[in-house]
Structure 1
Amino acid sequence: MGNIFGNGQQHEEQDGQQEVRRQQGEQRRQQEEQRRQQGEQRRQQEEQRRRQEEQRRQQEEQRRQEEMRRHEEEKVAALKKEVINLFNGQQLLLLGHYGVGKSSFINTVNHVLNLVQPNVPYQELAELSARESDHGTLIYRAYGPRKKMYMALKESDFSAKQDFGPIFFDVAGVNDKIVNEFDLKQFLIHLVNGQVKEYTDMVRIYNREDQMEQMRDESKVDNLRAWSIICLVSVADAFPTRLLQHVDQALKELKVQPGGGARVFVILTQSDKINQQERERTVEDYRKRCSQTLGVVERRVFQVENYVMREWRDDVRMEKNLEKENQVLIALNHILQPANEPDFLEQ
């Protein structure tokens, strides 16, 4: 009996010890789970702080970007006012190879200098080359605010100077055959002198179906006379050496004529077609070559990216590209300035 009682007591003690150990293990497990939960809570709190910090950073970056954009918009608006104050009915002749963006440049200027509602152009838009033939523009056209005004607008919406903004003469694009075989120099002289009538069929002229001798007898018309020549050069195409040489020769001959002469500028287009690594080097190379070929200072050579055709057709109220607008306005601010420097570099 004593052994039996002793064994039972021993078993109870062992069971009690096991229960204590089980409870201690459970307690340690609960403590471990509590530490895990506390660690997870700290991790969540840290993640929440990180997200809040990232949100604050993004908000700060957004405010910085908005501030920068407001600053750029203010600069563009101020420059636009400077350009509008220069309006004096300047008559500008656009030249260039087919497809370099002459008509697109007119449309881009129209959009940038929009003086009315953002979805209503203030001047007639030039027809784009994709709508035309291999020569792009077919006829000699003038585009500008004098050509078309929206009569629904009140007179107070336009100042006197704004009514006489720049007029662009859009010439059919040339190709290598025309440059090499056509008397382009003499034709340029007729264009600058105002001896080529508006709506002249340029393709017939280029194909020699209409003789230029008839133009020699045409009277010079002041509202068709070009004050300045703007050569558009695509930096994505071969450099137009022969075309610029014709322009240079025509300008020098015009310079010696009574009342003759015209200023010359260059617009470099389509830089967006060149990869980012080569773009800056290519633009600077073309800028120097244009300056040397025409004998003009480099500050008369400007880089401009036109708004592309799909932007015009999809939505004329497209978001403004401030970089493009700044490029156009910088160019116009120089082109529309009164002549205050020699036309040519010292030879």
Structure 2
Amino acid sequence: MITRNQERRFRIDIAIRDVMTKTFQHFLAKHILPADLINEIERRRHKHLSEEDKKTIQSGNFDKFDVTLLNKLFVNYGDIIFENGLRIVCSKEMPYPNHVTVSDDFNRLRIYRNKRKKRILTSINNLTENTKQMRKSKALLIVGEYGVGKSSFVNTVLTAITGIYHEHCQVAQASSSKTNYLDVKCPAEYLKITTDEDEKLWYPTFVDMVGMDKANFAPFDIILEYILDGKLKPFTDLTDFCNNIKKGRKMVQMEKREGPIVDAIVFLLAPKSEQNPTVLMENINIVLKRSAKEIPIFVVMTKMDECDLAEEAIRDLKRKICSSFVINMDRILECVNYKRSDSQSGWWDNDAVEKVLNFLTSICDPHLQRRDLIRMEFEKETSFIHVDGEKVTYF
């Protein structure tokens, strides 16, 4: 089940870079005038063109032609565009390397696009099937030290899901932290749900919290416990919460749940030589054990483009993570967070989209569920002391 935003992404962006679109726009402009193209297409009654295509062509501005429209024109109207009457023939077979005509280039792009489209559609459908089985939106808590890129990662995941970059979560600069409140992103918000079909997409809810300080974890363990149980409302001022906890104040108990109950934890770290996530991982384990909870944990190694560790050091770090959280390697994702400028620079390839979607599908496995353990009540342990040779009960 694909949303409108995903369809737009698949039709236009997948595997086709802006630079290729510009190339073929210039190629079209070189071979035919806009007025001649419009007249010939009207003479043929706009065959193979949609209403949206017609409006774009009527504008006479080749710069507005996307690669999908360019492909339609070259395939169906190639005999009027090119002086020699060339018609581009679609082929299912990839052209040989020494075949370098326009027709060959278009076939290469089309085959490449379709393969990528199929793979990403498969990833989206796998994610959708998992969420449909749950019949609820899994709440994923994004945790990690401040400045590791938690908010950027949420933006990255939502870009992969919707196909459109938007700064859903505010992103800080350098090693500072921008998130100072409990930021909750639910499917209704980031999918822009407008139809009944969209409402059936039980995609995850992302819970983004303030960055942790490994040197002073005391207030964060309390925050973590409250968030895990859904006791904090969205937009709760976590900085103010920390300050009150540090002053020894206790929060007034609430009678009902105020926020989403966390179904899975996504722990983020930016692997660098001077950073050691062991302390934070141990503290998270302590909180889970103390509160009698078993919550699936996944790990994201962010900012891999800035990583200064050798490959062997990265493997050692992964082994430590797996040992600490008792997880398998397949629960660790290496990621470079997406930024708006990356759509221009071209690094954000569809392999990254596919990896993020597959990782999210694993998290949304309906068999991976949170468990709140039950601890039985026992009588207090009775101790004995001996006084002058007699056994005396001591409580």
Q: Same fold (TM over 0.5)?
A: yes
Of 174, 188, 200, 2:212 maps to: 174
Alpha-carbon spacing, 1:251–1:308, altered in 2? closer, same or farther (3 Å): same
Of 162, 180, 198, 2:234 maps to: 198
Query: Could you say which residue in structure 2 is the equivalent of 1:310?
Result: 341
> 2:368 and 2:119 mapped to 1: Cα distance?
25
Deviation at 1:161, TM superposition (A): 2.5
Alpha-carbon spacing, 1:71–1:54, altered in 2? closer, same or farther (3 Å): closer
> 1:126 and 1:186 mapped to 2: Cα distance?
24
Of 245, 265, 274, 1:229 maps to: 265
Query: Could you say which residue in structure 2 is the equivalent of 1:67?
Result: 111
Deviation at 1:241, TM superposition (A): 1.0
Note the residue ranges of structure 2 that are not aligned, 5 or more in a row. Answer: 1-95, 372-395
Of 75, 92, 97, 2:145 maps to: 97
Of 207, 211, 214, 2:250 maps to: 214
Question: Does structure 1 conserve the Cα–Cα contact (< 8 Å) formed by 2:212 and 2:220?
Answer: no
Q: Larger Rg: 1 or 2?
A: 1
Matched, 1:141 2:211: no
Identify which range, 57-66 or 200-209, moves more after superposition. 57-66
**Alignment map for 1:30-109 (pairs within 5 Å):** 55-56=98-99, 67-87=111-131, 88-109=136-157
> 1:214 and 1:284 mapped to 2: Cα distance?
42
> 1:306 and 1:62 mapped to 2: Cα distance?
31
Alpha-carbon spacing, 1:81–1:319, altered in 2? closer, same or farther (3 Å): farther
> 1:137 and 1:327 mapped to 2: Cα distance?
26
Matched, 1:155 2:195: yes
Between the two proteins, what is the percent identity of the paired residues?
20
Query: Could you say which residue in structure 1 is the equivalent of 2:283?
Result: 246
Matched, 1:292 2:340: no
Q: TM-score, normalised by structure 1?
A: 0.66
Note the residue ranges of structure 1 that are not aligned, 5 or more in a row. Answer: 1-52
Question: Does structure 2 conserve the Cα–Cα contact (< 8 Å) formed by 1:194 and 1:221?
Answer: yes
> 1:262 and 1:108 mapped to 2: Cα distance?
23
Q: CA RMSD in A?
A: 3.5
3-state SS, counterpart of residue 296 of structure 1:
coil
> 1:290 and 1:120 mapped to 2: Cα distance?
30
Question: Does structure 2 conserve the Cα–Cα contact (< 8 Å) formed by 1:73 and 1:322?
Answer: no
Matched, 1:339 2:367: yes
Of 127, 142, 160, 1:112 maps to: 160
3-state SS, counterpart of residue 113 of structure 1:
helix
Query: Could you say which residue in structure 1 is the equivalent of 2:173?
Result: 130
> 2:185 and 2:161 mapped to 1: Cα distance?
14
> 1:324 and 1:333 mapped to 2: Cα distance?
14
> 2:347 and 2:306 mapped to 1: Cα distance?
21
> 1:298 and 1:190 mapped to 2: Cα distance?
29
Alpha-carbon spacing, 1:137–1:146, altered in 2? closer, same or farther (3 Å): same
3-state SS, counterpart of residue 207 of structure 1:
helix
Alpha-carbon spacing, 1:134–1:272, altered in 2? closer, same or farther (3 Å): closer
Matched, 1:185 2:221: yes
Deviation at 1:73, TM superposition (A): 2.8
The residue type paired with residue 116 of structure 2 is E
